[in-house]
Structure formats: structure tokens, C-alpha cells
Structure 1
């Protein structure tokens, strides 16, 4: 068995905590991983794992060797990608994670465009609200709003996270009255529930004036953004939307901005959508090209394109 394969098997076993789960991830048999680790231990003259009938854990020697093995595998991956960059065609895999709402808003368009332009690349896109560790998850790139203080991660602003109040023309016609600060509580509201968001009030600005608004009782509340958006488009009420999500619907006349003279202060999600990547990935050509596709999408009008 070659040393590179043995190192990969050892790292996978350490990360998963047993041979069976690591073997499943690598598409190997548990006995192959057991043999690979045994060969490394024989070569080193030291045990890498303490094994019992119930669990296995790294020894002190195993912890030291794991750090070195990860570094070695990372350097080999970077060297391979450096060679790839000499080729005209991009190839290989690119792993991306982003919140689910980014998919229909813009990420699906960018990904499809990227795949058409680079047929030798395969994408793995995980849409999840969970804040994942880029290293442990093996991600090349993340798109996130909200807290971004991850150590060792570069955060690059992509697009402003401006919040608009929106409603469908059908809802506004049915209500037949203008929305203002005096009557807003009498309107039907669709409210997104999230642990980071205040449930009791909003802050809005008009010029230099900062106004605290009590949140009305929602006609419909949900922790699923896309569900609420579908109901908004169906004319069920008013909803605050980020501009990157609302723009295509406003451009097509499916939604209208309400009380445009007021703007809502950024919530706990923050004023920007960020691109997150590890420092050693900044010069990876597949990552750089994907980021350029994202930026080009917004330079061309992003969601404003009908």
C-alpha cells in the first residue's frame, strides 16, 4: 500500500473516530484501513490509536502525526492544483456551502453558468443555515451573512445586505390603502423567525431619524424563508426582504417596494454577504474563477436582470 493512501486512511480514521465510518466515506473496507494504520504504526514504531471494545482515541504520538499528515496532504493538494492552473481547462472538484435562500436568489444561476463555462469541473453545493467549519467540512468557499468571525478565514464582502419592505401588487390593490407608520400594524405581515432576529421590534431609518417600531402580530410566521417568499408573491401580506432576493421580483413587477423612504437597519445578519475562504485557497484558480463569476453576476445587475 502506498504512503499517500495510508495517510489518507489514517486521517479519515482519526476524524471519524472509527474504521467503519472512515471506510464508508473513502469507499474502502474497514480491514483495508486497519491494515494501513498498522503499517504506519510499524513504520513509526509507535501506536497511533488506543483501541478498546467501545472506542478508539489518538495517542499523543497519533495527535502529533495527525497534524503532520494533514499538512502533508494539504501541501500535495495545493501542488496538484498548482499544476492544474497551468492547464487551460479548469478541472476537479469545488465544494461550496451557503444558506438555502441564496440558491434560488442567485447561486443557482452562477453555478449553472460556471458549469457551462468549465465542463471539466464538478461542483458540490451544500445549502444549509448551519455555520460550518471550512476546514472540518472540506469546503473551498462559503457564502454567508451574519457572524463571520472564524479564525484563519478570509472574509471578502460580495454584495450589500440592504433590507426592503415589499408586497405584491395584488395585496396592495386588495388592501386599497397606503402603508405608513400610523397604520402598518393593521396590515397582514409575513415574518421570518430566526434565533438571531429580534421578535419584538425593528429599527428603521428615515434620513438621520432612527425609529423603533413594535413588531405587529404576524398573519403568518415561519422559520423557512422560501416558504414565506412564496406566500408573499401570492399576495398574503407585507414582508421585509433583502434586496438581493427582492430585486428580480421587483424588476418583473411581481413585487413592489413599500415605504421606500424608510430603510430597515441591518439585523444580526449584518450589512453584507461575505465570501469566506481559507488563506491557502486564495490563489486556487477554481476558487478565483468562481468568485469572479459571482462578482460578474452582480456587476451585470444581479437580480435586477429580468
Structure 2
């Protein structure tokens, strides 16, 4: 039996947890998948699944073999695409993940522009604030906030993630404009809740540092909701500059205390493109990194 076909049948069966569901997805019979997995087990001298009438569970050997099988199939798929792209335009599927807040700030528009440049390439995009394991999810490239020293990853810094304090003109007209860090204590603030963050703001000016516990009526784990509230005049929000640059330029938001430096939060001072260090950058990955870097620079965000 073809070894690569058997590997693919094993991976799909493991991911779906059922020979019958995997057979349906692959357009084969359950007996064909059982036979393929049996050949792999005979070759390895170890069982890959514990079988019962109710469920199919990977053994310890199966778990180890699954990681390798995924990597082998992914590498062969990428090599096939690379070879095809030596003589043709970029094609295949590029799988991306990024935090939710990057979407409306620039990522949505950038992806559409990238697709227009590469009409043969498909994009599969996961926007989520949850941690995504790139290997397990089959992701080619991640955009994340952080620092450049990420173990096990090739990292390309794309833009700074400078923090600024913002409020709407309506809010400042109604409540006054803070003139010092201490003035913030009497203002409504909008608080981003995340397990990686504490709720304190750290500001500095002229070698003086101020640590404040912001107070406000609205807190959320959704940044876009808080930004909408800020635009609606509901308080002061600490924002990555890349997320509000167009709003500041248009006057819909105003930077508060612009002569203060705001310490980077736990997400770090950079927007990064990253992929696993043991995987080479394919042409489609490299093309997207170069495109998004130029896209951010053109908008003065790099």
C-alpha cells in the first residue's frame, strides 16, 4: 500500500476519532482505512489506536506518530507547492492566525489587498485572542504582539506596538482634558481584561514614573468593544498606536497626555510575524511577510 496514502488515512482517522467518519471524508470505505492503519502498525511493531465498539483512542505510540505524520504530510504539501511556484504564480493555501484586534485595525484590509495581488492563492484566516498552536492547527504563519525572542520560532518584527491613551473629543469637552498622570484618577477609564495583564497603567515623564489603578464603569475582554465605547465618549482607553492611528489622524480620537510614555503591556512592544523554526519559509509565507511589512510601513505603522 502507498505509504503516503496510509499516513493521510491515519491522520484523518486520528483527528476525527472514527474510521467511519474518516472514510466518509476521504471517500473510502472504513475497511480500507482499517487496513491502511494495520499496515502502519505492522511496520512499526506497535499499536496506534486502542479500539473498542464505542471509541477510538490514540495510544502513546500513536500520539508520537501523529505529530511526525502531520509534519511529513505538511512538508510534502509545501514542497509540491514550492516546486509548482518555481514556474507559476503563488498558489495553494496560506493559513494565517492573528489576534482579533488586528482585524479591523489593518489585517482585514491587508489580506484583501494581498489576495488581489495573488489571485491563485487561497487564504485561510483564524482571528482569535486564544493561543493557537501553529503545528497542531496546521498554521503557516502567525501575527502576534510580543517580543522578538520567542523560543522555537523564526520571528520577524513588523511594527512597533507603542501604547497611547485616547479619548473622544466629546468626552474631553464634557469631562475636561487630563494635564497630568494624577488627573486620570478622576476620569472614567475603559479597562481591557486579559489573563496576561494586570490592570495598572505605568506612565513616565522626565525620569519620573507613575503607576495608576484605573477606575471605570466598563471592562471587557474584547478590545473592539472598548474602542467603540471610547469613540462613543465613554472614557479614556489605553490603545496600541497601530489600532487607532487612522482615528487619531481623522480627529475621531485625541491622544491624552502625549508627553508621557506608556509602558508596554504584557503583550510586548512589537507586532511580529512568526513561524516554527524547524519549518523553512515557503514562498507564500515570505511573500506575505514582505507584503504586510510594506503595507504597515506605507501607513506609518512600521
Structure 2 regions of 5+ residues with no counterpart?
none
Does the CA-based 8 Å contact 1:48-1:61 persist in structure 2?
yes
Counterpart secondary structure, 1:184: helix
Give the C-alpha shift of residue 31 in structure 1.
4.9
Deviation per CA, 1:205-241: give whole Å up to 9, x if none. 11322222232x2121111110111111111111110
Distance 1:65 1:171, change over 3 A: closer
> 2:236 aligns to what?
238
In structure 2, distance between residues paired with 1:177 and 1:66: 58
After superposition, the Cα gap between the structure-2 partners of 1:39 and 1:281, relative to the gap in structure 1 and judged at 3 Å, is closer
Mark the CA change 1:289 to 1:267 in structure 2 (over 3 Å): closer, same or farther. same
RMSD, aligned α-carbons: 2.8
- CA distance in 2 between counterparts of 1:12 and 1:2 reads 16
Aligned to 1:135: 135
Corresponding residue number in structure 2 for 1:214:
213
Q: CA deviation at 1:138?
A: 0.2
Maintained 8 Å contact 1:157/1:274: yes
Q: Which residue does 1:107 correspond to in 2?
A: 107
SS at match of 2:181: coil
| Cα distance in 2 for residues equivalent to 1:168 and 1:18 | 54
Q: 1:210 to 1:24 in 2, by over 3 A?
A: farther
Partner of 1:275: 273
Distance 1:58 1:197, change over 3 A: closer
Distance, in Å, in 1 between the alignment partners of 2:185 and 2:67 is 57
Asked if structure 1 preserves the Cα contact closer than 8 Å seen for 2:205 and 2:260, the reply is yes
Question: What is the Cα deviation at residue 283 of structure 1?
Answer: 3.0
C-alpha contact (below 8 Å) 2:168/2:231 kept by paired residues: yes
Residue 167 of structure 2 contacts residue 255 of structure 2 at CA under 8 Å; is this kept in 1?
yes
- 1:49 & 1:61 partners in 2: Cα distance? 9
| Comparing 110-119 and 6-15, the one that deviates more | 6-15
Could you say which residue in structure 1 is the equivalent of 2:49?
A: 49
Matches within 5 A, 1:184-199: 184-199=184-199
Q: Deviations over 1:64-104 (max 9, x none)?
A: 65465345324422321320230231000011111111100
Residue equivalent to 1:249:
247
Which moved further from structure 2: 27-36 or 172-181?
A: 27-36
Contact conserved, 1:99 with 1:127, CA < 8 A, in 2? yes
- For 2:175 and 2:243, the matched residues in 1 are separated by 24
Could you tell me the TM-score, scaled by structure 1's length? 0.87
Q: Partner residue of 1:296?
A: 294
Contact 2:203-2:211 within 8 A present in 1 as well? yes
Aligned to 1:91: 91
Change (3 A) 1:23 1:256: farther
Paired residues of 2:97 and 2:125 also in contact (CA < 8 A): yes
Please list the CA deviations of residues 251-272 of structure 1 after superposition, one character each: whole Å capped at 9, or x if unmatched: 1111110100112111111111
SS in structure 2 opposite 1:145?
Answer: strand
1:269-288 alpha-carbon deviations (Å, 9 max, x no partner): 11112111023544300000
Bigger mean CA offset, 228-237 vs 201-210: 201-210
